[in-house]
Amino acid sequence: MGELRYRVVVGLEIHVQLCTKSKMFCGCALSFGEEANSRVCPVCLGMPGVLPVMNEQALEYAVLVALALDCKIAEFTKWDRKSYYYPDLPKNYQISQYDLPLGSGGFIEIPLEAGRTKRIGIIRAHLEEDAGKNLHTAGNFSQVDLNRAGTPLLEIVTEPDMSSAAEVRTLAVELQRMVRYLGVSEADMQKGHMRFEPNINLIITKDGVEYKTPIVEVKNLNSFRVLERSVDVEEQRQLDEFLETGEVMGMGNKTTRGWDDINQVTVLQREKEEAPDYRYFPDPDLVPVEFKCEWLEDIRSRLCELPIKRQIRFVDEYKLSDYDAGVLTAERSTAEFFERVVAAGGKPKRVCNLLTQVGLKLANEKGCSVAELDITPKDFAQVSNDVDGGILSASGANKAIELKAQDPDKPFSVIYEENNLIQKSDVGELEQIVEQVIVDNPKAVEDVTSGGKKSKKAQSFLLGQVMQKTKGQANPKVVSEILDRKLG
């Protein structure tokens, strides 16, 4: 066999359920986990003679995301009927947007290693209604729950710009952060708020000739782990199939596959339909949508600083690590709270440590955001500065925050005093303790003064002995300085 090289090419379709109170074209409430078929009406059941009415908030949410993706917003768009026959689609067509999507030609930046980013093109973003859900748990037959039918669904289609499973996962994570920042979706994948469909094929070079394998679309993936794994598995499967059959991309050989999580494989479902199979035509029951400048500018005014830009700024402005900046910007409320603490006088790195080590832990335990804890930005700033001022140790600061969360009305001065959190920094007092530790540990002192391999470890041991005698209240920096002076 001659030389063979290949690369994987992936585009992604993302479906985002928008968090409106009602469905896309009727007044049925949107809520998860309700009794099957209890959130339906004649409109979303597709009864004869009913008339849909567009949900304006859903449209504005979709435009907000399209603007965040730097898409061009269509001045004129319309609704189309997309015909196909499945039990979970009661009308036998889906109301969607075909040739005039509301947004097109945008991009999103995704983070790579070493602080680099990569631009992924966005082909289109359009609004449609979701189908219902087929259930297969009752026995040797299927059931249909139409509570989800008619839910506002934003579909985002990327260019095939991703070249690894890791990049696909990163894009999905970034999009989840984006829609949550904008407040347009909870993006909870366990509840089906976000679903991914990667389109995957290989470009193979063999003996100097380039071949493209048929495109495979893996349907309805609802976790980052499965999304990444399915791309890796499909990459290997397509390579093996090409080596065995030599089949290349042609007309009509695009297929859809499902994910078998038990066996960790993709499974053939059907040949992929093309646009003519859906028999698109304009929906006669819905008027087109025209975007006037004033309306668009009103929506644009609701944009915020997006997570990837905020993460990069936190690294540049506050000198945080990329990891810490990523943790702080994962949720918009956490990032904004961090900046309020810094504005209240806290040092950025110390504030970051307090929020990531104890603030987020407490918020997770209480099922709320950091901003919703009964601890103000001023409180966090005070504790941060008390660590930098030598009043508290880092562990003492964490303890103080935990106690403040339990009793928000109690002043920190009382919390420190009652729980012996104030560090001992009195040089005279600490010198006496250090001298006693030196007398009690001649072997460790010998190891320090010899300057050998054990020196550093021995000095840490002596410091630990002082901390033990002071029940953790000695200021380690002051103790280290005294040890250095006395042991040379």
Edge-to-edge strand list for the sheet holding 281-282: 93-96, 80-83, 281-282
> Distance between CA atoms of 16 and 11, rounded to whole angstroms?
16
Burial code (b: 16+ CB inside 10 Å, e: under 16) for 432-452 equals: ebbeebbeebeebbebbeeee
Residue-wise pLDDT for 24-35, tens only, equals 999 999 988 899
Q: What is the pLDDT of residue 475?
A: 75
Residue-wise pLDDT for 275-303, tens only, equals 677 899 999 999 999 999 999 999 999 99
Q: Tell how strand 80-83 and strand 281-282 pair up.
A: antiparallel
What is the pLDDT averaged over residues 359-368?
Answer: 93
pLDDT grade, residue 461 (50/70/90)?
A: confident
CB 182 within 8 A of CB 202: no
CB 82 within 8 A of CB 286: no
Three-class SS state of 374: coil
Residue-wise pLDDT for 210-250, tens only, equals 999 999 999 999 999 999 999 999 999 999 999 999 889 88
Map tokens 């680099």 to a residue: 116
Q: Which two tokens stand for residue 394?
A: 């880092």
pLDDT grade, residue 150 (50/70/90)?
A: very high
pLDDT grade, residue 139 (50/70/90)?
A: confident
Q: Tell which residue, 109, 145, 110, 134, has the closest CA to residue 35.
A: 145
In angstroms, what CA-CA distances link 432 with 318, 371, 426, 486?
40, 44, 10, 12
Q: Tell me which of 145-154, 177-186, 267-276 is least confident.
A: 267-276
What proportion of the chain, given as a percentage, has pLDDT over 90? 69
CB 108 within 8 A of CB 69: yes
Query: Which of the 8 DSSP states describes residue 108?
Result: E
What is the pLDDT averaged over residues 69-98?
Answer: 93
Q: Tell which residue, 439, 430, 444, has the closest CA to residue 476.
A: 430
Q: What is the pLDDT of residue 358?
A: 94
Q: Tell how strand 216-218 and strand 255-260 pair up.
A: parallel
Q: What is the pLDDT of residue 426?
A: 57
Q: At what angle do helices 442-450 and 476-487 cross, to 10 degrees?
A: 70
Q: Is the pLDDT of residue 106 over 90?
A: yes
Q: What is the pLDDT of residue 389?
A: 84
Q: What is the pLDDT of residue 29?
A: 95
What are the structural domain ranges in the chain?
4-298, 307-418, 427-487
Q: Half-sphere exposure of 153 toward its Cβ, with a 13 Å CA cutoff?
A: 23
Q: What is the pLDDT of residue 468?
A: 80
State the chain's mean pLDDT as an integer: 91
pLDDT grade, residue 273 (50/70/90)?
A: low
> How distant is the alpha carbon of residue 205 from its chain centre?
36
Three-class SS state of 190: helix
Which amino acid is present at 282? P
The pTM of this model reads 0.84
Torsion sign (Cα): 268, 166, 187, 55? negative
Q: What is the pLDDT of residue 2?
A: 61
Q: Is the pLDDT of residue 378 over 70?
A: yes
Which residues are within 8 A (CB) of 67 and not within 5 positions of it... i.e. 6 or more apart? 73, 103, 299, 300, 303
> Is 427-487 in CATH node 2.60.40.1180?
no
Q: Tell me which of 3-7, 66-70, 189-193, 247-251 is least confident.
A: 247-251
What is the pLDDT averaged over residues 457-462?
Answer: 82
